[in-house]
Amino acid sequence: MSFFKKSSGGLEHVVARSVGMLGDARHSFDLATLALLTDTDWAVVDGDIRETDQRINQSEQELRAELVVHVSVQGSAEIGSVLGLILLLKKIERIGDQAKNVLDLAQSGVVLAHEDDTEAMLAERGIISTMFGEAAELLRDPDDDRLDDLSQRGGAMLDAHQAKIEEYLHSDRPGREVVPRAIYYRYLKRIVANLLGIVRTANEPLPTLDYLDAGETDTDD
């Protein structure tokens, strides 16, 4: 990616492993939302999701240690690329945590299958899952136009998620209906925000990373 290509080299395998971690995070997201939105028993996917999360965490720790060694050898010229990669790895790890949070909702007894809005939520799940794939492609093969397109669509989705949360907060429907949905959309919002942060990390200067509108809007609250 343009930001990392300023490095003198030696970080390509970190980017490659990051793509693999992102694939693991997508796997956990797909399974967790399946447990929440369909008749899939959460216990069937629980072990897989938690093992995958441990694998993501282990990879983050290993790569972070490698990056510390890398910058100690290469010196201050590499500090920008290393910090960018550390932030990228943390965002992938956070997505894994959010997938676990979705699973925890299902484990707590929340069932959103066969509801009036289930079909719409499943469709949105598919869109977000596809965004994981787009983010991975942008890590492997950067493209400014595709990045701008994903950023616009992702930004619109963040706005829609926030609108959903506010709608549920002010709804007259029973709390047992709106509270789980508000929590779920909060998790979705964080997942999408971190996906956008991942693809922006390598293309934006660190001081403005995670901010929009010339630094006025924080996307990682």
Per-residue pLDDT tens over the stretch 71-116: 777 666 667 778 888 889 999 999 999 999 999 999 999 999 999 9
Distance (Å) of CA 173 to CA 79, 117, 118, 122: 51, 14, 17, 21
Residue closest to 198 by CA, chosen among 156, 138, 149, 155: 138
Cβ pair 38, 159 in contact under 8 A = no
Does the predicted model carry a pTM greater than 0.95? no
Local confidence band at 210 (pLDDT 50, 70, 90 cut-offs): low
Taking the CA atoms of residue 105, residue 23, residue 127 and residue 50 in that order, the dihedral angle to the nearest 10 degrees is -10
Largest CA distance in the chain: 60
What CA–CA distance (Å, rounded) separates 88 from 72?
Answer: 19
Residue closest to 136 by CA, chosen among 184, 49, 180, 202: 202
What percent of the chain stands above pLDDT 70?
84
Describe the chain by its helix, strand, coil percentages, rounded to 5.
80, 0, 20
What percent of the chain stands above pLDDT 90?
68
- What does the block give as tokens for 199? 């693809």
Cβ pair 205, 83 in contact under 8 A = no
Residue 13's Cβ-side half-sphere holds a number of Cα atoms within 13 Å equal to 8
Residue the block writes with tokens 């939105």:
37
Q: Is residue 203 pLDDT above 80, yes or no?
A: no
User: Considering only 76-85, 148-157, 183-192, which range has the smallest mean pLDDT?
Assistant: 76-85
- What does the block give as tokens for 87? 């932030």
How distant is the alpha carbon of residue 49 from its chain centre? 15
Distance (Å) of CA 32 to CA 47, 74, 151: 11, 41, 25
Domain 4-218 architecture:
Up-down Bundle (1.20)
